[in-house]
Structure 1
């Protein structure tokens, strides 16, 4: 993959460059008018009632100001224009220092991310880039069996969550398309191979060939070029959730977990800790629609997490915000070209209300070759992914309103 994708928004230019000086200086990139107010030292004309004569010649620009009542000469007049300018400059310095500190903090968070290179193995035949300003990201959520295994080779990792995240050119919202992990799709023989006819569950691609094969498989299925990849270790999201003080989720029906310690989740709105939330979103066998319920709960969890992260209680609490950001970046593995600072600037207006969740169109489950798989609704899926490629998802959603989700 090219180091600069044609659709990626350009990086922000530096705030300014330091000026050579013996003193620390802060660049000022704002255009100002005159640095001092026009000469406004009002000069009185000679006055017959003045108690003291003007000295030093009475010409323009010379002498002292007339006396004031009481016979005392006033001190130097305050130069308000200069004082205001100095105060404004001081505020600007403070604000620029704050911006610089935030930039440094963002870079430190960026370094906290684990990096991988899932694109280098994709040597040809990738979908074209079509619309400037659009960003498409593959989000892979994994319940790691082998924390030390590489994400780029076959391993004991399994993709429990696969989401195509589409950010339109207007960057006003984000569309998250969940791909059921049992969706039956073509899986290439390798990341560099043609799409081919070998078929299997989409999550098997991650197990067979790590992130490179997962990217290749999703691109073959959707015919959409992925600009970035984010792998989420859901085990790490326990700490992320706890750093926020838990999340609020609506439990759609009372269920008992099939995993130790066999928690019971009672129907209704509940605040869940990290361990409880991750346990709940893993449940599927107790629900009539099985794995589709898990997809629904994963979407609900991500929205709840986003809402809590951008809440005033988090943003106004620096220690809490720092703990969240540190935990979040520690749970992510991203491609080498993804800049956390750039993403934060580009998507700063996104919050829970701006996230549009949907599921890749499908025709339900069938048994193929002795295993239960999810079969894609090919015409609807094709129309959706063509809308993604053309940056017309809003129009597709308007023409295909989603069913009201429970939970």
Structure 2
């Protein structure tokens, strides 16, 4: 245990740090209601996605709620096209109007993204993690692949046009990354992509804690190196504390939900996702109060 902590501390020095809260006005932030609970904003991009058009918008927005007792985690995906009010950026050049939530990242970086998510959810963000989903390839390969249950048979729209069969299958890093990008073959589009990313994240966590990696120094080293190169965190986030807090967490204790919506529509020329504001208010109030039973009930 001591050796593991020392190892994590050495890895921690190599992880990129970001100043996530510097430009977030303290007077406008939500107050923390639940003492001891933790909320982590996970922002993901896919830098090598064949569909990427450049730009700096974030593809994945997840609020990970870690209850006070650390016995579970609820990961709330906010669709990137959710139509919200984006506060004005500190430089005053952008924001101060309604837009897709991921526009906040392009306009004001991580601090404006934090401010926008806090304004939308009324949940105070304690830490921020930025993930390059393209780096998942190396992470999954360090785990010798992950098991994914595909909801239906379909063919990837990206070369080499892999065929995915319905049901459980072992995927290597390249295959799982390809799977997590697919949405156009599904009636619900980007919601399918969110489900696929959730499956891959859960499979990684399941395999990491149950696949014997902790007892294999070589595989552990490969896994930690791959993970550290794929993530950045805020300046105050401690890997050692996080590993200690979450040491008993398993896949069965993880719940993935999507922020309440009314579905898709259009605002002018833009295709957007409309939040179900009434349900969202009840849902995020439960998150703020660290009421896990209510979180799960109000997410259905």
Normalised by the length of structure 2, the TM-score is: 0.93
2:42 is equivalent to residue 139 of structure 1: yes
Q: Is the 8 A contact 2:258 2:299 kept in 1?
A: no
Q: Is the 8 A contact 1:139 1:162 kept in 2?
A: yes
Q: What 5-or-longer segments of structure 1 have no aligned partner?
A: 1-98, 147-154, 403-407
Structure 1 residues 243, 227: CA separation in 2 closer, same or farther (over 3 Å shift)? same
Shift of 1:208: 1.8
SS in 1 for 2:129: strand
Tell me, in whole angstroms, the C-alpha distance in 2 between the residues paired with 1:258 and 1:101: 45
Greater strand content: 2
1:307 aligned residue: 206
SS in 2 for 1:306: helix
2:116 is equivalent to residue 217 of structure 1: yes
Greater helix content: 2
1:114 aligned residue: 16
Q: Is the 8 A contact 1:256 1:265 kept in 2?
A: yes
Tell me, in whole angstroms, the C-alpha distance in 1 between the residues paired with 2:165 and 2:132: 27
Alignment coverage as a number of residue pairs: 294
CA RMSD of aligned residues (A): 1.9
2:244 is equivalent to residue 376 of structure 1: no
1:281 aligned residue: 180
Tell which structure's C-alpha radius of gyration is larger: 1
Normalised by the length of structure 1, the TM-score is: 0.69
Please point out which of 184, 188, 199 is paired with 2:87: 188
Structure 1 residues 239, 366: CA separation in 2 closer, same or farther (over 3 Å shift)? same
Shift of 1:251: 1.3
Q: Is the 8 A contact 1:122 1:212 kept in 2?
A: yes
1:328 aligned residue: 227
2:153 is equivalent to residue 251 of structure 1: no
Alignment map for 1:92-171 (pairs within 5 Å): 99-124=1-26, 125-144=28-47, 156-171=55-70
Tell me, in whole angstroms, the C-alpha distance in 2 between the residues paired with 1:343 and 1:112: 16
Structure 1 residues 236, 312: CA separation in 2 closer, same or farther (over 3 Å shift)? closer
Please point out which of 70, 73, 79 is paired with 1:174: 73
Q: What 5-or-longer segments of structure 2 have no aligned partner?
A: none
2:102 aligned residue: 203
Shift of 1:145: 6.5
Which of 352-361 and 305-314 deviates more?
A: 305-314
Q: Which fold has the larger relative contact order, with Cα–Cα distance below 8 Å and residues 6 or more apart in sequence? A: 2
Q: Is the 8 A contact 1:306 1:352 kept in 2?
A: yes
Q: Which runs of 4+ in 1 moved over 6 A?
A: none
